[in-house]
Amino acid sequence: MQLDKLARIDLNLLVVLQVLLEEQSVTRAGVRLNLSQSALSKSLNRLRDLLGDPLFSRTAHGLKPTAHALALAKQLPDILQALYQLTRPPHFDPASSTRSFSFAMVESAYETLIPGFIGPLLETAPGLRLNSYMWSEKSLSDLQLGQIDLGIDGIDLKPQSDLGIDSLPEGICHQILYHDIQLCLVRKGHPALALAARGEWDLEYYLALKHVQVRCEGNDWWALDYHLAQNGKQRHLCATVPDFYGAASVCAHTDLVFTLPQSFARHASKLYGLEMLPLPFEFMPLAYVLLWHQRNDGDPGHRWLRELITQSALENFGDSALKNVSGRGRENVGNSQKWTQD
């Protein structure tokens, strides 16, 4: 594309040409464009010089387009419509959109979040396509590079956490969807249940048991393990598995304890017939956080999807779902998430 030559072209001349093609009369074209006949004639002469063609010949019935002008008439409306669209503010119509969105999500949030928003999303935007991936150690980098649109991660709220709300990478915006706590899953008839019933379920007994752990983002230790280590204590991690369902299944067939977020524990307890026990010591909650890059902050389609996910979390998790939105610099944008439609 020769942009230097394009920069020297008055694009208003294309509008003049389109009206002349439609009216085939200098007088009628001048009325539509609010130009004098003299001014319109000058524009026509500039068009002839620019395009190297007379474009029109005068007849008793008005202007007759040349072959080149008729060829231009087939292309010009689409070109002008495209230019017009460039001047319009961003818009998004869910009902007619065929956009694709990609997001990465931690496994523990798949069962708790996707069922809540996938139905309303497909009902409102049937042509939309979602591509989802498992959250990994490279997902934040993918967000920064624009390789995925959205992320949902569980972020530890402990001040000393390596990845927290206040330490997100440059350009990453966030919105807290809901808070969660950790608890324990054990099989039915597990000895720990009897201790809990007698009020003897404590940290000492918890550490004496064997545990199954999910390897998250390549790490065998969770924030809980680092918290215990700071106090000179450590769990006996007897088995480490790659996913939550596998850990719940191991838990159902052994005396191993599975410590995990409460939102997924409720689902797993029903699916595998497990029992839930509270964590027998104080530990800070975590936050499930929606993440995106600031380059997409004002995009109407992104804003629509983020609001739908946020509303779903609010309906499903009640008071634990927050609507405070912030981005780089921690600026609060409140409830100003709107989108325009055709």
> What is the torsion angle, in degrees rounded to the nearest 10, for the CA atoms of residue 11, residue 13, residue 19 and residue 22?
-100
CA distance 235 to 228: 8
Tokens of 322: 């927050």
Please, are residues 213 and 220 in contact by the beta-carbon 8 Å criterion?
Answer: yes
Please, are residues 62 and 38 in contact by the beta-carbon 8 Å criterion?
Answer: no
CA distance 127 to 97: 6
Please, are residues 127 and 207 in contact by the beta-carbon 8 Å criterion?
Answer: no
Domains of the chain in sequence order: 3-87 (1.10.10.10), 100-180+286-330 (3.40.190.10), 182-278 (3.40.190.10)
Q: pLDDT by residue for the chain (342 residues), tens digit each?
A: 567 777 778 889 999 999 999 999 999 999 999 999 899 999 999 999 999 999 999 998 889 999 999 999 999 998 888 887 777 667 789 999 999 999 999 888 887 888 888 888 989 999 999 999 988 888 999 999 899 999 999 887 654 444 566 678 888 999 999 999 999 999 999 999 999 999 999 999 999 999 999 988 777 888 899 889 999 999 999 999 999 999 999 999 999 999 999 989 999 999 999 999 999 999 988 889 999 999 999 899 999 999 999 999 988 886 554 433 333 333 332 333 333 333
Backbone angles phi, psi at 333, to 5 degrees: -110, 10
pTM for the full predicted model: 0.67
Please, are residues 104 and 132 in contact by the beta-carbon 8 Å criterion?
Answer: yes
Q: Please count the other Cβ atoms lying within 10 Å of the Cβ belonging to residue 39.
A: 13
Task: Specify the residue for token string 């956490």.
Answer: 161
Query: What is the CA angle 28-30-32, rounded to 5?
Result: 70
Please, are residues 187 and 275 in contact by the beta-carbon 8 Å criterion?
Answer: yes
CA distance 129 to 97: 9
